[in-house]
Chains A and B, each alone.
Chain A
Amino acid sequence: MHVHRYTGITGRKIKLLLILLLAGFASLAETVGKVESLDEYLHRLEQQHHVSFVYDASEINRALKIETTEATSLEACLNLLRAIDITYKIVGDQVILQKAKRPPVIITGEVTEMVEGKSSPMVGVSIVEKGTNNGTMTDSKGAYRVLVKDHGTLVFSMVGYKTQEIIVGDETTLNVVLAEDVSVFNEVVVTGYQDVDKKLFTGSTINLKGSDVKQDGITDVSRMLAGRAAGVSVQNVSGTFGTAPKIRIRGATSITGDNKPLWVVDGVVLEDVVNISNEQLSTGDTKTLIGSSVAGLNADDIESFQILKDASATAQYGARAMNGVIVITTKKGRVGKPLISYTANFSTYRKPSYNTFNIMNSADQMSLYDELDRKGWETFGNSKRSPNGGVYVKMYDLIDQYDKTNGSFGLRNTPEARAAFLQGYARRNTDWFDELFRNSFMQEHSLGISSGTEKSQLYFSGSYLQDDGWTIADRVKRFTGNARANFNITDKLAIGLITQGAIRVQRAPGTVSRRSNPVEGKYDRDFDINPFSYAINTSRALTPRDDQGNLEFFKRNFAPFNIIHELENNTLDLTMIDLKLQGDVSYKIRPNLKYAFLGAVRYAKTNQEHKVYEHSNMAEAFRADGDAIIRQNNKFLYRNPDDPEAEPVVVLPYGGFYNTTDDYLVSYNLRNTLEWNKTFNDTHIVRVFGSQELRYADRQNKFFYGYGYQFDKGGVPYVDPNIIKQVVEGNFDFYGMGMTYDRFLAGMVNATYSYRTKYNLNGTLRYDGSNRLGKSRDARWLPTWNVSGSWNVDAENFMASQSIITRLTVRATYGLTASMGNATNSSLVLSTNKATRPYLPEIESVINIQDLENRELTWEKQYETNIGFDAAFFRERVTLTVDWYDRDGFDLISPLRTSAIGGQFVKSANYADMTSRGIEVTLGGTLYQGDHGGWKTQLTFAHNRNRVTNLKSTPTIWELVSSDGGPKEGYPYRGLFSVDFQGLNAENGSPYFINEKGETSNNVYLQSDITKYLKYEGPVDPTITGGLYNSFRYRNITLSALITFSAGNKIRLTPAFSSSYTDLDATPKEFLNRWMTSGDEKFTTVPSILDVRTLGSLDGVNPYAVYNYSDVRIADGGFVRLKQVSLSYLLPESWTSRLGATNLSVSLIANNPMLLYADKKLKGQDPEFFNSGGVATPIPQQYTLSLKAGF
């Protein structure tokens, strides 16, 4: 601060002035008692008293008016200045003027907010004296005390609330009521690259507050989006922990690609540990357990979800964002005293019940077996030959059992003994659900601490989840930790650090991979012990325990089998460690130019151990060589090719299997961004944003099959060399390792222009480069771009005259987006295999050309148009967002048949086209808002229809009729087709169809690529999705309910028919209406049960497998589901404070309680769930008690 002289008067001049002043003294009297400006007054005094004034012009305003009176002495004159708070000090002939210093005052008060109609103290509100570092914070009672300069200004602020400024007057008590800033989350769009003012944002996006969508008891955050965001479809194909739901934003964009949205957490793209396409999610294979990228996130850490949908919104993600982006922002520390929040959820799952399924009870089942027996299926000789067997096989085996010592049989072969034996089982009616499921207990504890000052904010959290398992075969533990720190080092420099980690330990039933078997029209999975599919597929006449309570074994793969025993002896243990370190630095180079850097490292390691103990059925099956017939039929024995006439032998004499699979991911992300903002004349807002980024991800997969591991003999392997020989001769590997490398670079420029935030124009240009597109520099780099604009109509003058529409923004986008397809044939792809020859000396290593070089390989692209508007009516009481979009996908990768002259008949090439179109509506409203409560509602609705317009690949019948459907030109991206059912054969009740030649026949060749005779049923993916959310509050009680719905798709019913059945099979009740005798074909479409002779006459043709894929076995996929009901009670303040807490609440939540509507044909089959065995289980009904406390 510079001290200015009033005038630059020298000593001599002053003397002269004094003379002049004295001379003019008489005139002074005239001025008495008038108001003049300080400037004039001082000037007069200078002349009168020959002094000069020294003061700080910034402190003392010369224009101030002052009432002057008659005074003669200088002191008296100067004392008048006190009236305008000016003090003086005379130093020689100089008078130093100063603003009067009043003593600082102590201000006390209380900060409150209005919660549900009454004021509630606010803790941790920051109170700062404006322009200083002086400040404090409210305590647990909302009180504060601050020493502040008189007439200073106090600033009351807290994140999420409107900041208030109050000038200190005479009052020393200031009670402040802060109002929640409802717009704070809506006003900023978090793209992951930058936070954009919603008024300037031109793309289509949805913001969901973490606390709003959180569903207590649901452990995977991705499942919480169901029904809450228009255009985001969430299909729970499996409910097992760690498996991802099938998520689509605006439907599919690629025919062969993954079609999964991009997950971004705190600005960093979350790489998948393993790449699993949306279709693979429904296989039930162990790989699906690590399919959810967000399974390691604690739902309590999530501040918000931002879903970016159109080309403009996703522009910054360029060529990865064709399928939309979900940006998760985790919580940050907030300024204030430490805030502790604790959540505990206690859940229980309800066991499934046979009431909802359409399965025969044991009496019906036994009478069906009786028919099978009569039809020659369970004959005495057969029982030994059959690898699997239940009650009948057991009976025949007992009859065959002769004890030489006492001359008795296991069972006497008399009609009476047999009837008694069978009747015992007919009455059992085993409830497998009861045996294999439990009303389990899951607990989840989450603790978060937030603290901070203006300079540094910290957030720490930890959570623990323990799920004892819905079935007796699974359980999960998960630990997550999160530490986030933000430092504002100076006004210009800010640094942020995030450490996120998760540890997961999970057990699941042991399983091997499923394989598609087009030959027999089914999916095979050896040794499947999935409890859910076991319960619905296994005869209720079988018993888990005998009369003495011991486990009772039946026969599977020629070896003894009991599901409870097997689940204990054949397990899958999964461990996962996932750690992310992230740092960001931002620096304001100039007030309007900001540079930011973001870097992240992630390391994820998963390990799956499939443990098959010695006495498991799976291991015993490899040892089943009881007699010559078994030896000949047991496929798990070894046939020596060097000795073609020899009998198959056992190659696993001891031990079981120890098979491990490991997946590692190491990824790095680096990003530099530069942002420049300028507003010209308060009118033209210009913003330019540039970024450059690098991505690096290495993935490793390795597996090892350990043969003969002896778990209960000290963990020593016993390896029969023949088992290795068998593997090698079969052209398989017993261990393996594979790496994939992802290298990615991108640069982007985005520019926004806005005229008074009324008219906004936005454009983005981005270049992406990936190593997956080979060496060609042209193909490797892809530019994507888009232009968009928005018009904030509410800012127009003509809108001021009405009061209905509070807010209205109209948006439009057009742009090119892209995504990396699934092809890697940009350069020659060679694969090394073993020659498929029979004898070891002849086998050699062969390099095969897997794919010829495709120089033309490029990204999959689409042009997208989006038009939408956001509106609010009646002062935000009703909000409405509508978006319409049209997408033209081209250069999509698909198999293409070529002349084969180049050496590859079917190539992956960019040639296919697909269009999709849709509309999305979000309607929100506060239907009632009163002092004691309110009713809020939100409806989301989305319709999406896509069509493949150019596709040369010709799928086989099998690919189109199986439950995942297939792509075909002129149909949706995955269309479900059926073999056309033509009634039953009048002689034997076997079904007829239109086959691939267009003839009516019982023989359809499923591997045929002539698909024109198939019947189109509908898309596999729903075309309509949405949800209805309602929340009612009355005083301290809140009741909310979420209903989700979807429609427009078709579902393949679970295959239930077979040309032969065993006494293990559980059969659906439809069988009661089956064809029994000639003439029945007029009344029923349920085929007969064949007798052995008729089956023989079918000549290897299997019409029953085809029947499962006919138009009879189709149901409509539409459903309405009550997804969640929650009842919360906020404890009264008096109770809360007694416990030292600031708030306490108790909630009761029912997740997934009811299916309100579904096609009757489904008969208990969950319309979302794919019962594929393995580790897949449906989403259970779950009841949760949730406690929340804040301190």
Chain B
Amino acid sequence: MERTKMKIRIRICLTLVLLTATRCSDYLEHLPDQRAELNSPEKVAELLASAYPRANYITFLEALSDNAEDKALTTSELINSEPWQFNDVPGRNEDTPDFYWQAAYAAIAASNQALETINNASDQTPYRASKGEALVTRAYAHFMLVTFFSRVYNPGTAATDPGIPYVTEPEKVVTQKYERKTVAYVYEQIEKDLEEGIPLLDNESYKEGAGRYHFTTTAAHGFATRFYLFKMDYAKVVAHANLAFPSGNILPSLRPINSEAYRALEPLVKLAEYTKADKPANLLLVEAPSLWARSLRGYRYGFNFNLLNKVVWNQNVTSGLWGYMFYGNEASLFTPKFREHFVKMDPNAEIGTPYNMIPLLTAEEVLFNRAEANARLGNYDATLKDLNDFASTRIIVNDTDEPYYDPARHTVTRARVLQFYHTTDIEAALIATVLDFKRVEFLFEGQRWFDIIRHHLQVVHVPYSRDNILTLGPNDPRRVLQIPQEAQSSGIELNPR
């Protein structure tokens, strides 16, 4: 009797405990703080504002390229001197390849998180534009990673060259294993995401004024021209370039460098203007923590008068003068493009994070990509038209009494090109013109490196002392940046050295 009573009691207790236990799980579902939950189209769209690699590659790309010479300053920074000496860049702070790697994968994580939410949504329609942006950003970040950390696309070896991990799922454990696979695989994935994403994009979905910080259809097509140029699919380059701008007309979007109004701006204003979102030439901008704007003049390995003479002031195919304005002396020569946006730790702090607005894609690049593709495709007149459009916004007669472009004197023709480059191969001459124009246009923007790896150009760095001249041959393994050491914890092999 006593025992059964006891049993009943125990049973009652257990049921109570179980009852409370089931209630418990609801009780413990409460989030510990006000963290945003990714559950609406608006929030997914806001998350995608972080799906762009917020890192600056210019510092190491300029130093690696032939746009940098030894200015023989007494002090030097590792983030500038190591890439110039073709060494692996130490550290993982802003302006290093490691930092770019982290930022690019962080951008990819945002894209993947957005895609996971979209794919789990019962109704995907309101997410259409975001899905497009997520796919294109994912393609972009992976493309930049494969360009820096793998060998440049080569149809012959892409199927065996190690790629970089193409991540499509949000990571949920502390250490996940990944595979590099191959460059060909990465390119396939990029193409797939890009082609699927572009039609879904909607320029109206972005906040007015901030659209240039997102993949608009123009920017996405612009990125596609770069991708296909690397992939050597020239027809697609031309097709996407024509889709990027209304009726393929890029000229109105080019920067009015040689215009009277632009040339008259104060240097500080010029600095600010170059990376403003309301400039049509800026197809895609990103805010990135970087010391580039404040240091580009002071780095030991950089742009100097020798380069200015060689690259800019020397004779060019138009026979006119480049209308770019340069400031500073031998030690601090620059053309105004970057202005630092210093984000303080608190409103009155003197310390904080310096941000640079980086133009990732510009109308000029799309124009050059189309020009180069057309040259490859044999559409030489089309190439010449683009080159002349470009020259019309850059070239002046001289900067004293005739600071304007004169079509009569400056128009580039087949004959002029052949003569200037001492060749009979019109395709080669046009491509040389494109590369030269690009080099001038993108000084201080890092773009030169893309042409160096794509065209396997040799880079020679001559120390001021003239000892130990450094040469980066066309197939030098140092053209491929080293993957961060920590990646080995995910089973990633480093690049050969």
* Residue ranges of A at the interface with B (Cβ–Cβ < 8 Å): 512-513, 515, 517, 519-520, 524, 526, 635-636, 641, 644-645, 674, 692, 694, 726-727, 730-732, 738-743, 745, 747, 769-772, 775, 777, 780, 824, 827-832, 835-839, 841-849, 852-856, 896-905, 907, 909, 911, 1007, 1099
Contact = CB atoms under 8 A, between A and B. Distances in A.
Contacts of B486: 897-900, 905
Contact of B110 (A732, A903, A1099): A903
Nearest to B33: A740
B24 A771 contact: no
A738 B33 contact: yes
B171 A901 contact: yes
A739 B36 contact: no
A900 B27 contact: no
Contact of A842 (B33, B106, B277): B277
A899 B171 CA distance: 12
B36 A830 contact: yes
Given A740-B33, A844-B49, A645 B266 contact: yes
Contacts of B343: 730-731, 836
B24 A745 contact: yes
Contacts of B277: 837, 839, 841-842
B72 interface: no
Contacts of A849: 47, 50, 106, 109-110, 113
Interface of B: 13, 17, 20, 24-25, 27-38, 43, 46-47, 49-50, 75, 92-93, 101-102, 105-110, 112-113, 165, 167, 170-176, 178, 207-210, 212-213, 266, 268-269, 271-272, 276-278, 287, 339, 341, 343-351, 353, 355, 357, 484, 486-490, 492
A900 B24 contact: no
A517 B345 CA distance: 10
B174 A909 contact: yes
Contacts of A780: 28
B348 to A, nearest CB: 5
Contact of B49 (A839, A846, A905): A846
B167 A645 contact: no
A742 B110 CA distance: 28
A210 B31 CA distance: 40
B24 A769 contact: yes
A635 B348 contact: yes
A856 B171 CA distance: 12
B15 to A, nearest CB: 13
A904 B209 CA distance: 29
B133 to A, nearest CB: 13
Given A842-B209, A901-B165, A902-B167, 5 more contacts: A644-B339, A837-B341, A844-B207, A844-B213, A903-B171
Given A524-B350, A854-B172, A844 B210 contact: yes
Given A636-B348, A771-B30, A852 B109 contact: yes
B75 A901 contact: no
B76 to A, nearest CB: 12
Contacts of B278: 841
Most buried by B among A513, A780, A849: A849
Contacts of B27: 694, 743, 745, 771
B30 A854 contact: no
A1007 B353 CA distance: 14
B488 A899 contact: yes
Contact of B109 (A827, A902, A909): A902
Contacts of A901: 105, 165, 167, 171, 176, 178, 487, 490, 492
B30 A743 contact: yes
Given A645-B268, A842-B277, A515 B346 contact: yes
Contact of B105 (A519, A743, A902): A902
A635 B105 contact: no
27 contacts: A515-B349, A524-B349, A644-B272, A645-B266, A694-B27, A740-B33, A743-B30, A771-B30, A824-B35, A827-B31, A827-B35, A828-B38, A831-B36, A836-B353, A837-B341, A838-B272, A838-B357, A839-B209, A842-B213, A845-B49, A846-B47, A847-B50, A849-B47, A899-B488, A899-B489, A903-B106, A905-B486
Given A836-B355, A841-B210, A849-B50, A741 B33 contact: yes
Contacts of A775: 29
Contacts of B208: 841
Contacts of B13: 674
Nearest to A593: B9
Contact of B38 (A742, A772, A830): A830
A842 B36 contact: no
Given A838-B341, A900-B105, A1099-B75, A907 B46 contact: no
B415 to A, nearest CB: 45
Nearest to B90: A1010
A1099 B298 CA distance: 13
A839 B112 CA distance: 29
B43 to A, nearest CB: 6
A845 B46 contact: yes
Given A900-B484, A904-B109, A515 B172 contact: no
Contacts of A844: 46, 49, 207, 210, 213
A828 to B, nearest CB: 7
A526 B172 contact: no
B269 A824 contact: no
Contact of A896 (B34, B174, B346, B348): B174
Nearest to A900: B102
Nearest to A1007: B93
A769 B25 CA distance: 9
Contacts of B167: 901-903
Contacts of B209: 839, 841-842
Contact of B351 (A519, A731, A852, A909): A519
A741 B31 contact: yes
Contacts of B92: 905
Q: Which 5 pairs of residues, A with B, have the shortest CB-CB distance?
A: A903-B109, A902-B171, A841-B209, A899-B490, A846-B49
A1027 to B, nearest CB: 39
A899 B165 CA distance: 11
A738 B345 contact: no
Contacts of A848: 47, 50, 110
Contact of B347 (A727, A853, A904): A727
Contacts of A827: 31, 35
A10 B102 CA distance: 109
B345 A515 contact: yes
Contacts of A904: 106, 109, 171
A830 B24 contact: no
A827 B116 CA distance: 14
A903 B50 CA distance: 11
A740 B24 CA distance: 19
Contacts of B266: 644-645
A739 B268 contact: no
Contact of A742 (B32, B46, B108, B349): B32
Contacts of B112: 903
B243 to A, nearest CB: 26
Contacts of B165: 901
Most buried by B among A524, A645, A769, A899: A899
Contacts of A742: 32
Nearest to A739: B34
B33 A739 contact: yes
B173 A856 contact: yes
Contacts of B213: 835, 837, 842, 844
B487 A899 contact: yes
Contacts of A645: 266, 268-269
B347 A740 contact: no
Nearest to B484: A900
Contacts of B344: 730
